């Protein structure tokens, strides 16, 4: 294709006007093509028809569900002025997606790419019951056969109400686009813009952007070219997942260390994960991270990290995905020497932070109302000494802070009541059963119950117990049947939508994850693809956000 203006493929997104419809200019002849056959009933149910703009100035496009909330389509479909980018946020032009089951749902938010003609459009209500398209993670080979789908014009109809498909071959590819050629007389017409480009496995590899429209109704009779350009999607797994993570609803926010780098990733409600992001690249360089903890407050993710200079830092990842800068906790809450570990938990809108410093346990609270911090308090001064503490874990249960501290390989438990008073230390082994020496501990609250997960015997054994709201304990249960035979470097626990989620980093540098459901059954353990994480895996922590 030439770079001459007169030879540039045309954007194919515009529908015939309402005036033409009322004037009877739409052919009643059966459709012949995209230009290809009608899709079979029930086939490609993830493809949607998009109607954009008002009645006097409307345009039609096609899109495809990537999940029940987001539609992938061409950014040019939502551009207020053709040829300009579609801005992020609320659409400038009203858009309605008609789903394969006939439901019409308004588009309320846009997340565009700036490097290609692609946008993810969020629906006002989920397309419940319709599965999103499977997405390819590798580019098709040159010459591969591809299928395009759309609701655009055919050879004989201006506005068909049926989904059509066409067959194409991949001619060339660059970093952001595919050039495709129609097989036979198949072509992409007006209204097909934004439709999916699928490989032989039915996986999404691209989004139709512009085409020559040879053979389409309304195209010049002299135009015979059937080639087209599509925006690549196969290389955008992390971006698509990061946009999906902006959908309101329960998610598991996870921090994992690799060396002195701290990474943040999100497990979505469908069990898929985003890629992992270097937290310092978002919130500021604190000289590397020695240890960190995460807590969710509504839709926000609070991160407390021990920087390379031995000082605690705090940052917030907002629900919209933006990060605040790290702020020095010690400046706000008091100096601590020789900090080795930190744990965090939310109670209401307040953030509770427990730190181990010099073998002692200290506690502070960040007010959700105004962001101020209380001075660090020595927990031993209120609860009593238990020896040199090596690690701690916290949970919110029944609106109260529950704390487990490990010393000499044994766990001790205390509660900070809402009036600020602490209970005496209780020996967890006496209540839940003896185990080998504890090397990692995590906690999570669910209602009035507190779950505790531990790794023992140099990480070779993992156990779970519950301290119920009536102060009784369940015996430690071996997690081997659920986690398999793993050696844990670190265990993490968090409550997400009322269920306990457990993640483990292993000595062979894997992350595995499982869920204990509210009916007390455990789901299958699945590996976590820690995309973008490099180096030896270390500590992991997990919390739920809305």
Query: What's the topology of domain 248-545?
Result: Neuraminidase (2.120.10)
Confirm if 364 and 401 have CB atoms less than 8 A apart: no
Q: What is the DSSP string of 424-479?
A: PPEEHHHHH---S-EEEEEEEEETTEEEEEEEETTTTEEEEEEE-TTS-BPPPEE-
- Please determine whether the domains at 31-246 and 248-545 fall in the same fold group of CATH: no
In this prediction, residue 56 carries a pLDDT of 72
Classify 365 in phi/psi space as left (phi over 0), alpha (psi -120 to 50) or beta.
beta
As a whole number of angstroms, the distance between CA 297 and CA 408 comes to 33
Confirm if 218 and 190 have CB atoms less than 8 A apart: yes
Q: What's the whole-model pTM score?
A: 0.90
Nearest CA to 116 among 197, 44, 184, 181? 197
In the chain, what are the domain boundaries? 31-246, 248-545
pLDDT digits (tens, 9 = 90+) for 131-161: 999 999 999 999 999 999 999 766 656 566 7
pLDDT lower than 50: segments of the chain: 1-33, 35
CA distances from 349 to 105, 299, 338, 420 (A): 34, 11, 29, 16
As a whole number of angstroms, the distance between CA 265 and CA 542 comes to 10
In this prediction, residue 219 carries a pLDDT of 72
In this prediction, residue 505 carries a pLDDT of 98
In this prediction, residue 157 carries a pLDDT of 61
Three-state secondary structure call for residue 6? helix
Domain 31-246 -> CATH class: mainly beta
In this prediction, residue 154 carries a pLDDT of 61
């Amino acid at each position: 294709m030439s770079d001459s203006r007169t030879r540039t493929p045309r954007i194919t997104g515009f529908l015939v006007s309402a005036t033409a419809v009322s004037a009877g200019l739409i052919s009643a002849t059966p459709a012949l093509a995209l230009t290809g056959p009608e899709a079979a009933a029930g086939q490609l149910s993830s493809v949607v028809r998009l109607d954009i703009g008002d009645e006097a100035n409307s345009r039609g496009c096609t899109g495809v569900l990537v999940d029940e909330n987001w539609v992938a389509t061409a950014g040019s479909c939502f551009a207020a002025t053709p040829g300009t980018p579609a801005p992020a946020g609320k659409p400038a032009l009203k858009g309605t997606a008609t789903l394969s089951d006939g439901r019409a749902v308004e588009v309320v938010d846009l997340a565009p790419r700036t490097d290609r003609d692609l946008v993810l459009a969020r629906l006002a209500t989920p397309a419940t019951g319709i599965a999103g398209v499977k997405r390819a993670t590798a580019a098709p080979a040159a010459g591969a056969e591809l299928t395009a789908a759309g609701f655009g014009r055919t050879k004989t109809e201006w506005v068909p109400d049926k989904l059509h498909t066409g067959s194409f071959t991949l001619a060339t590819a660059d970093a952001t686009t595919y050039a495709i050629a129609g097989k036979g007389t198949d072509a992409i017409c007006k209204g097909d813009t934004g439709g999916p480009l699928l490989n032989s496995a039915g996986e999404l590899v691209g989004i139709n952007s512009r085409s020559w429209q040879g053979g389409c109704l309304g195209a010049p009779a002299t135009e015979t070219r059937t080639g087209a350009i599509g925006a690549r999607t196969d290389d955008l797994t992390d971006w698509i997942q990061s946009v999906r993570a902006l959908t309101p609803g329960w998610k598991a926010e996870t921090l994992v260390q690799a060396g002195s780098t701290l990474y943040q990733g999100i497990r979505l409600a469908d069990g898929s994960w985003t890629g992992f992001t270097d937290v310092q690249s978002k919130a500021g360089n604190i000289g590397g991270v020695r240890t960190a903890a995460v807590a969710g407050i509504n839709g926000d993710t609070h991160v407390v990290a021990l920087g390379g200079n031995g000082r605690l830092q705090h940052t917030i990842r907002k629900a919209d995905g933006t990060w605040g800068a790290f702020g020095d906790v010690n400046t706000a809450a008091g100096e601590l020497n020789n900090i080795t570990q930190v744990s965090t938990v939310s109670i209401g809108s307040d953030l509770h932070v427990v730190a181990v410093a010099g073998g002692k346990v200290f506690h502070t609270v960040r007010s959700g109302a105004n962001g101020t911090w209380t001075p660090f308090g020595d927990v031993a001064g209120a609860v009593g000494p238990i020896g040199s503490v090596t690690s701690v874990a916290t949970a919110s249960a029944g609106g109260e802070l529950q704390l487990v501290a490990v010393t000499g390989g044994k766990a001790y438990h205390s509660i900070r009541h809402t009036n600020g008073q602490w209970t005496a230390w209780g020996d967890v082994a006496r209540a839940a059963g003896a185990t080998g020496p504890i090397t990692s501990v995590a906690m999570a609250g669910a209602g009035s119950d507190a779950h505790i997960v531990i790794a023992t015997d140099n990480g070779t054994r993992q156990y779970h117990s519950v301290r119920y709201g009536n102060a009784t304990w369940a015996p430690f249960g071996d997690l081997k049947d659920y986690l398999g035979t793993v050696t844990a470097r670190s265990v993490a626990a968090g409550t997400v939508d009322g269920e306990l989620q457990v993640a483990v980093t292993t000595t062979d540098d894997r992350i595995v994850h499982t869920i204990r459901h509210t009916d007390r059954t455990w789901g299958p353990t699945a590996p976590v693809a820690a995309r973008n994480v490099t180096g030896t895996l270390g500590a992991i922590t997990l919390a739920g956000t809305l």
